[in-house]
Structure 1
Amino acid sequence: MTTEPMTEPITAPMTEPTTVPITEHITDAAPEHENAIQAPGTPEPAWARWRGLDRLPRVTPRVVGGLVVVAAHPDDEILGAGGLLASVLDAGERVRVVVLTDGDASHPNGPIPPADLVARRIEESRRALAVLSPGGPAAEIVRLGLPDTAVAAHEAATIPALAELLAGYALCAAPWSGDLHADHEAAGRIAAGACAAAGVRLVEYPVWMWHWAEPADPRVPWERAVRIDLNPERVRRKQRAIGCFETQIAPLHPGLDDRVILPPEELAHFERSFEVLFR
């Protein structure tokens, strides 16, 4: 069953949640794992079969006054909010991307020196954002240089710094504070504190949730979830932008380090024709 898209802008004031029936499960509840991200994940076809995603309230990404997207690592901003970014850029609004870490711990003890990996990841993020804004100004990138895997240790100092970067903007999108990745959760808490200080509205985007959760998972705040539908052209741009992150979607050094952080089965969660946000 489908519903007509809602015309409510994403920056509209919060209202009582729309009733969305999400009790139907595709599979039995998955057992809890000590490390949910490393455990086997939920395949994209299971999410595609679940009608709960289609029943989510639709919102339109009209962001008058500019958007700040917070990312724990370079690529989070594209995976979780690339479609939102493209929509706001298309509308001619300013966009600032604040990347908390440079992602230098993605391949510990790998064959490429951390400084070289950082340079590659920064360039990947720059190219990806340029792909999202063909013919127009790309988003501004601000790097805070926090230590990868240790964002939580720097929350108190980062909240006022982010609040300053939010000044004058209308909306902030940040990783979901329940994403079960320590850096993502810390990023969500930092954004919440900064938005409260700056008086800026906050929405959260999930990333690893699509891996460890399952349809109708009670750990997910579905009552706060909304859906942004993307037109085919924006879907293509987002997919091309994801393809810029070669250090994450391909072996870093074939033959020496064959680890792939985001294999095709994980990327499938982010190649959809819609995005889900929590507000």
Structure 2
Amino acid sequence: MTDLLPPSAALFSELPVYLPEAVAAFGPTIVVAPHPDDETLGCGGLLALLRQAGLPAWCVLVSDGAMSHPNSRKFSAQARQALRTQELRNALAILGLPGDALHTLGLPDGSVPAPETASGAAAVGQLQQFFTATQPQTVLVPWRRDPHPDHRASSQLVRAALAGLATPTRLLEYVVWAWERAAAHDLPQPGEAQGFQLNISSVLPQKQRALEAHRSQLAGGPIDDDPTGFTLAPSMLAHFAKPMEVFFQVTT
């Protein structure tokens, strides 16, 4: 008896495949990551290909990432935040991004606010300022119904920020937890979005090295005193060891 594949597997495997050269159409690009490691899991290959093509790329980190191991005594919340931010910087460097390519919002991990709240509205304003300063042609954020509340809230913040800009910006959505945890109604519905797979085989080893930089999220990581702490399961990591990354452009 074999395990049933998640509904995402069939949907994603049927999407058209774009060659690496397709990244030229992305132009200057910003990847919005709810937590450190989302940028590499969902878009690490894309970021590496963009930098190989000489295109500017940035990363916006939404949350502080401190709640992955909340019961650690060796690492305080401040220490966890510092560790995860440094891991993110290391990963981005491996992917070819310069040191000044990271912009952090510092919102609470596990409680990223909606744009209609006071803290959410402030985050929308910060995003608008950063988008205005960098003038991206493409912005990426997790799929709007990706099965994590911070991912969904990040999508809402980005959409609110883009809606207030004078210059239209292409919005693409990437999947992280939708690979494993999405119910059928969480996935793109017929006519809702146009999806594609990007062939990242030429930079897959680079992506894997970047993922290894997020040591605290992997088995055997440095935060070893919280048995309830989060680590990426082998089954989850297997999705991101594939030579394809999945993106959607919403049409409705």
TM-score normalised by the chain length of structure 2: 0.83
Partner SS state of residue 12, structure 2 = coil
Q: 1:123-171 CA distances to partner (integer Å, 9 max, x unpaired)? A: 11011111111xx746700111111111125322211211121121101
Q: 1:55-106 CA distances to partner (integer Å, 9 max, x unpaired)? A: 2123422245410111111111111111111111111111111101120111
Aligned pair partner of 1:266 in 205, 229, 236: 236
Do residues 185 (structure 1) and 157 (structure 2) align?
no
Whichever residue aligns with residue 12 of structure 2, its letter is L
Higher relative contact order (CA 8 A, sep 6+): 2
Comparing 136-145 with 268-277, greater Cα deviation is found at 136-145
Aligned pair partner of 2:129 in 129, 143, 164: 164
Partner SS state of residue 105, structure 1 = helix
Q: What is the match of residue 127 of structure 1? A: 90
Do residues 247 (structure 1) and 210 (structure 2) align?
no
- Change in 2 beyond 3 A, CA 1:265/1:194: same
- Change in 2 beyond 3 A, CA 1:254/1:179: closer
**Contact 1:251 1:260 (8 Å CA) reproduced:** no
CA RMSD across the alignment: 2.4
Whichever residue aligns with residue 160 of structure 1, its letter is G
- Change in 2 beyond 3 A, CA 1:119/1:219: closer
Q: What is the match of residue 201 of structure 1? A: 170
Aligned pair partner of 2:179 in 205, 210, 222: 210
- Change in 2 beyond 3 A, CA 1:172/1:267: same
| CA distance in 2 between partners of 1:47 and 1:180 (Å) | 12
- Aligned pairs for 1:69-108 (under 5 A) are 69-108=31-70
Partner SS state of residue 92, structure 1 = coil
| CA distance in 2 between partners of 1:188 and 1:202 (Å) | 10
Unaligned runs of 5+ in 1: 1-25, 28-41
**Contact 1:71 1:98 (8 Å CA) reproduced:** yes
- Change in 2 beyond 3 A, CA 1:179/1:61: same
Q: What is the match of residue 276 of structure 1? A: 246
Partner SS state of residue 151, structure 1 = coil
Whichever residue aligns with residue 274 of structure 1, its letter is M
- How much has 1:254 moved relative to structure 2? 7.1
TM-score normalised by the chain length of structure 1: 0.75
Whichever residue aligns with residue 150 of structure 2, its letter is D
- How much has 1:232 moved relative to structure 2? 2.8
| CA distance in 2 between partners of 1:271 and 1:243 (Å) | 12
Aligned pair partner of 1:62 in 6, 14, 24: 24
